[in-house]
Amino acid sequence: MFALVFFASVLEAFFLPRAVRRFIVRLSSLPYLAGWGLLIAAMYLDGWVVPLMIGAGALIGVGSAGFYLLWQRLFASQDSDAGDRDLILGTAIASLFYFALYLIPRAVTVYLIPLVITPFFALAIALKSRTINLEQPMFEDDPRSNPLVYRQTALMLMRPALCIGSLGLCSGLVRALAIEDPTVGSFVNGLSMGASFVAAIAFLALWRGKGVRLNVVALFRVVFPLVITGFLLLPFLGAPYARWLSALLYAAYSVALMLMMIQCAQLSRDRGTSPLFVYGLFGGIVYTLHDAGFLGAALAEQPAIPGMSTYAVVALGAVYLLGFMYFFGQGGFRHAVSAGRAPLPDVELIPPASLPLAGNGSAPLAARRPLARHQSSEEDAPPSSTSAGATASFTPPSPPQDHEPIYQDRTSKQVACVQQAFGLSAREAEVMGHLARGKTVARVAEELIISENTVRMHSKRIYAKLNVHKKQELIDLVESFDPPADL
């Protein structure tokens, strides 16, 4: 039910876009509360335990998915800094909250969640959702009027969704083997929550320090050999090893889910696509694969191959499926015989701008115009009405080796300098580069395959960060940068 709600949100966002604006909290909270009601009833009605548990699971799945979608809509609607910060910080706090629940007896927790925690949770979402700016392109645009934008977005999502889905498949497989023992289930959940907390704190620290740039597909290439090796050892090391493998894989999966939410929110902002469409499609694929792994391992407990243990059957199936997932996650047959499709942008957490800002939020004029390294005399420096004689030097960032920028002309170098100085995102720098060349909004939208409203939204954010008000001011600012000779 959890995965089905995600796929349903994709259809709703595409065919009923106005319903996204009226997505109310009670659509999630009511089934969630009803599910917990059935769970409580199962404690007292012994003859109805199985049907009550099935109903509880379905309703809690529907409600949980609705809460996930509501929060994702909120994170995506915020400014990138605020949205990503709240998402990562919320992940850390949720992990601590999970461990705090162990301090309360289970008999109390089963009543505490529906009667106290969920109402406050729903109230928090309801109040915070009122701050959403529904005039943004991700809510205003009708997907049916921009089908090419949504088609390309869906294609971009396939590869990273299959990569994270592969982790979900693996964690589902081994979790089904280890979940029979309740203590193992608690161990798996505890380690995954601990990993989420550590990862969230690490992301916050790196973000505020040097910034974070991650490519989900490239990261999966690094993890893939480790996962394959882990499954190959499963038939030989048995149950104790299966518990640890389950815990570690589920911990990695939990961290990947946080990256998935950041990635989806970033894609909604960059392309102006509905957050329910983006996150619904991504999450639907990932959670379906997790469910498939869990059910597959449950069926493997009665192996059909004589002489093979359950662990051997699971390991064999996992390696076989992971091979296919890796192949299609890297682009499949189409990528193998062609140049491939447009890659998904990296997960990008931009640190504060490297140049100091004035009190009104704009950089001093001299700081806006960094000099090349061979310029050092005051008479060579551009005049400044705000800080006479002040100069600033610019050192270009050192991107990873597999992300070496290609500068087509002087303008592209100047755009890179402006991006570094003012802390623009990759998409904002891309839009600014087109605007700096004098292109119209319609032309930029056509070349980037996004809607014109999305281009205008990016333009507003760029103007605000650069403290300019007209296109000509933006062009003058870009041209005022003198990039270093070695850039």
Structure tokens at 275: 């957050």
The pLDDT tens digits for 36-49 are: 999 999 989 989 99
Residue 203, Cβ density class (10 Å: 0-12 exposed, 13-18 middle, ≥19 buried): buried
The pLDDT value recorded for residue 466 is 92
Rounded to whole angstroms, the Cα distance separating 149 from 17 reads: 15
349-378: average pLDDT: 45
Rounded to whole angstroms, the Cα distance separating 217 from 318 reads: 19
φ, ψ of residue 349 in degrees (nearest 5):
-115, 105
Rounded to whole angstroms, the Cα distance separating 197 from 209 reads: 18
Secondary structure of residue 213 in the 3-state scheme: strand
Q: Which of 97-106, 178-187, 307-316, 441-450 has the highest mean pLDDT?
A: 441-450
177-202: average pLDDT: 83
The pLDDT tens digits for 378-418 are: 333 333 333 333 333 333 444 444 455 667 678 888 999 99
Higher-pLDDT residue of 381 and 137 is 137
The pLDDT value recorded for residue 351 is 78
End-to-end CA distance of the chain: 52
Q: What distance lies between CA 299 and its chain's CA centroid?
A: 32
Identify whether the C-beta of residue 293 lies closer than 8 Å to the C-beta of residue 176.
Answer: yes
Q: Which helix (H) or strand (E) holds 72?
A: helix 49-77
Rounded to whole angstroms, the Cα distance separating 261 from 157 reads: 12
The residues with which 59 forms a beta bridge, in sequence order, are none
Query: Pairing between strand 347-349 and 212-214?
Result: antiparallel
Residue 356 DSSP label: P
Mean predicted lDDT score pLDDT of the chain: 81
Query: In 210-233, which ranges are continuous DSSP H helix?
Result: 216-232
Q: Which residues of 21-31 are buried (b: 16+ CB within 10 A; e: fewer)?
A: eebebeebbbb
Specify the pTM: 0.82
The pLDDT tens digits for 290-326 are: 999 888 888 776 655 666 777 888 888 888 888 877 7
Look up residue 276 and give its amino acid.
L
The pLDDT value recorded for residue 214 is 83
The pLDDT tens digits for 167-178 are: 899 888 888 877
Q: Where on the phi/psi map is residue 212: left (φ > 0), alpha (ψ -120 to 50), or beta?
A: beta
Look up residue 144 and give its amino acid.
R
> Residue 342 pLDDT > 70, yes or no?
no
Structure tokens at 479: 């041209």
